[in-house]
Amino acid sequence: MSGLVDGRVVIVTGAGRGIGRAHALAFAAQGAKVVVNDIGVAKDGTAVGVGSDGSATGESPGEQVVAEIVAAGGTAVVNGDDVADWDGAQNLVRTAVDNFGGLDVLVNNAGFLRDRMLVGMSEQEWDAVIRVHLKGHFAPLRHAAAYWRAESKAGRRVDARIVNTSSGAGLMGSIGQGNYAAAKAGIAEMTIQAAAELKNYGVTVNAIAPAARTRMTLGAGGAMAENMAAPDSGFDAMAPENISPLVVWLGSAESKDVTGRVFEVEGGRITVAEGWRHGPTQDKGERWDPKEIGPVVADLLAKAEPPTPVYGA
């Protein structure tokens, strides 16, 4: 029986564990050729299972996922590049092209946490999380997009997909995760931006905001902490594998008309997130006096939808 993504070449970043691993296995099960990217780090970003040259070792989680895919009759290769490194991200795209002759889908998933309240957060804790999440999405996206643009300009048909990973923390905020929330909010907006810019090259760009039990959410002070207990019986709503069916579909040819969207997904529930949009307005037709503003703002807020509460507030 043919799979939904038969023959498509897919990169999944951060695919050694958790949601990324589930994505890689799900794509392979549906017939895709998968580049399993994993640098092999702990959830705080410290290196684990990486060789001196920066590549994944035989003991790396990425190698283990590739072995699972191959054992099940699928096709996969490992890549140990740092997705937030400019040259590493370029090499990641090259890995797909060199091994499988092209690239059809990029799933940006890699990330880690360094949780702390903003008042106590260090510059390094801020920079590290912004780098891995936000730049770690942009760099692979940019190099994949350059590949597809070149293919399109050469007259070859492009039917490509990018699936980014935002978070409920990025959409609503999460107490104690200001760096992570800011990065994930940036990813949601970058998704909308990229969808508009890449449409003419045959590329769709969407994002998910997943909720699942992973290393990053276990013990975290943010959005997922209250939901971590596995159920006593029946459907495990917090299993990482629940997230992947939507991602596989978004990576398929069937999703060609869907772009610039962010989907929240948890268990068996899929929600279309509705972000910033123009709300109530008053136009005086000339410059306001500051003394006039109070009643105007009060009236606008009375007409506006209340904001969704921040996680943990």
Q: pLDDT (tens digit, 9 = 90+) per residue, 154-202?
A: 999 999 999 999 999 999 999 999 999 999 999 999 999 999 999 999 9
Is 180 one of the catalytic residues? yes
Active-site entry in 33, 166, 180, 252: 180
Domain 9-272, architecture per CATH: 3-Layer(aba) Sandwich (3.40)
**171 token code pair:** 């959409």
Task: Taking residues 55-82, report their average pLDDT.
Answer: 89
Q: pLDDT value at position 49?
A: 46
Q: pLDDT value at position 215?
A: 58
pLDDT, tens digit, for every residue of 264-290? 999 999 999 998 999 999 999 999 999
pLDDT, tens digit, for every residue of 227-250? 444 555 589 999 999 999 999 999
Angle, CA 86 vertex, CA 83 and CA 91 arms, to 5°: 70
Q: pLDDT value at position 50?
A: 44
> Which band of pLDDT confidence, cut at 50, 70 and 90, is reported for residue 313?
confident
**34 token code pair:** 């998968």
The answer to whether 176 and 115 have CB atoms below 8 angstroms apart is yes
Is 184 one of the catalytic residues? yes
DSSP letters, the chain, are: ---TTTT-EEEETTTTSHHHHHHHHHHHHTT-EEEEE---B-TTS-B-SB-TTSSBPTTSHHHHHHHHHHHTT-EEEEE---TTSHHHHHHHHHHHHHHHS---EEE--------B-GGG--HHHHHHHHIIIIIHHHHHHHHHHHHHHHHHHTT----EEEEEE--HHHHH-BTTBHHHHHHHHHHHHHHHHHHHHHGGGTEEEEEEEEE---TTTTT-SSTTGGG-SPPSSS--TT-GGGTHHHHHHHTSGGGTT--S-EEEEETTEEEE------------SSPPPGGGHHHHHHHHHHHSPPPPPPBT-
Q: Rounded CA gap, 309 and 313, in Å?
A: 7
Predicted model pTM? 0.90
% of the chain beyond a pLDDT of 90: 85
Q: pLDDT value at position 233?
A: 57
Is residue 201 exposed (0-12), middle (13-18) or buried (19+ Cβ within 10 Å)?
A: middle
Is 311 one of the catalytic residues? no
Active-site entry in 147, 184, 255, 311: 184
> Which band of pLDDT confidence, cut at 50, 70 and 90, is reported for residue 70?
very high
Task: Taking residues 52-76, report their average pLDDT.
Answer: 81
Domain ranges of the chain: 9-272
Q: pLDDT value at position 59?
A: 63
Active-site entry in 166, 167, 174, 252: 167
Q: pLDDT value at position 213?
A: 85
Q: Rounded CA gap, 174 and 7, in Å?
A: 39
Q: pLDDT value at position 1?
A: 53
Task: Taking residues 242-261, report their average pLDDT.
Answer: 98
Q: pLDDT value at position 222?
A: 42
* pLDDT value at 53 more than 90: no
- Top-ranked range on mean pLDDT: pick from 39-48, 212-221, 296-305: 296-305
Other Cβ atoms within 10 Å of 267 Cβ, number? 16
